[in-house]
Amino acid sequence: MTAAAPSSIEVVAGRALPRLPWEERPPGSTEPIWRYSGNPVIPAHPFPSANSVFNSAVVPFGDGFAGVFRCDDRTRRMQLHRGFSADGLDWGIDPDPIRFRVDDPELGAFVYGYDPRVVELDGRYYVTWCNWYHGPTIGIAWTDDFVGFHKLENAFLPFNRNGVLFPRKIGGRYAMLSRPSDDGHTPFGDVFYSESPDLVFWGRHRHVFGAVPNSWQATKVGGGPVPIETSEGWLLLYHGVLTSCNGFVYSAGVALLDRSEPWKVLARAEPYVLAPDASYERIGDVPNVVFPSAMLCDAPTGRLAIYYGAADTVTALAFARVDELARVALEQPAES
């Protein structure tokens, strides 16, 4: 679908982040997203029992930042750990996994957890992740201090992944993007939208968009970081997958969703905005992967710090500007 680019695109809701990690675009570069020169920002082994740290989420917290990190240990169990940083660059990650408090014993057995997202909503920090309950599904928990974590009901039946909560209610209801899947390395997947009055009962399911044949996102697509509300719609960074002769290749794309009805796609860029190119993205436990999972936004300037998993091994950082990313979607749209 085609949309005219407005003269000004602004962040609707957000706050100033004076400590936002930031580097200017390298001289001569015209890329909409550019990499941090010190990547990877979090190495594979930040503590002795870690095999890898990737596909993790961070948010502003206090005078700095906090996050929930996917840390696969040296038995290759997929665990969730908390971490803190004053500047978004130097991270201290707790070597002990998060232990969720649960009120229902049916939810108590932790089998695995991976690919978390974190959003501040209604005065709490909500964590969504791929949880196990007779197969992969979407777990939800909340914390107000990143010390105690309180687990709620799983959002959906198996099989589902990539649960991404919106940072505010839509029409008075909580809203989430997800990607229904299977119990393996899913060779398909579209993005869907769902609503809930209470974070327990989910419905009003709507299809948002799917894979695009003969493209970098031909196999499947899924939500990325928490969307950012702009004057032109919800700015969504997402991942798309191509099946190559050597396996999956994960890249990142950008779309704009309607502010009141986010299942309606206003614009969606045809080219990717970030794809595996650096050595730490091409070489690792799973080669050729960039997987964006968090965006920090300095609302007054529209500057973005984007955290992404690289090769399922390390966490990397990149930078962009809200208006430039939105224009990529608006000026080079593709049918959804």
Q: pLDDT tens digit string along 42-62?
A: 999 999 999 999 999 999 999
User: What pLDDT, on a 0 to 100 scale, did the predictor assign at position 2?
Assistant: 47
Would you kindly state where each structural domain of the chain is located, as residue ranges? 40-331
Whole-structure pTM value: 0.96
Residue 94 tokens read as: 């707790």
Cβ burial, residue 96 (10 Å; 0-12/13-18/19+): exposed
DSSP 165: E
Q: Which residues of 132-156 are buried (b: 16+ CB within 10 A; e: fewer)?
A: bbeebbbbbbbbeebeebebbbbbb
pLDDT of residue 5: 63
Please give the CATH topology (third level) of the domain spanning 40-331: Tachylectin-2; Chain A (2.115.10)
Query: Which runs of E-coded beta strand occur in 113-202?
Result: 113-121, 124-132, 136-143, 149-151, 160-165, 174-180, 191-196
Residues of the chain scoring pLDDT < 50? 1-2, 336
Whole-angstrom distance between the N-terminal and C-terminal Cα of the chain?
A: 8
pLDDT for the residue 109: 79
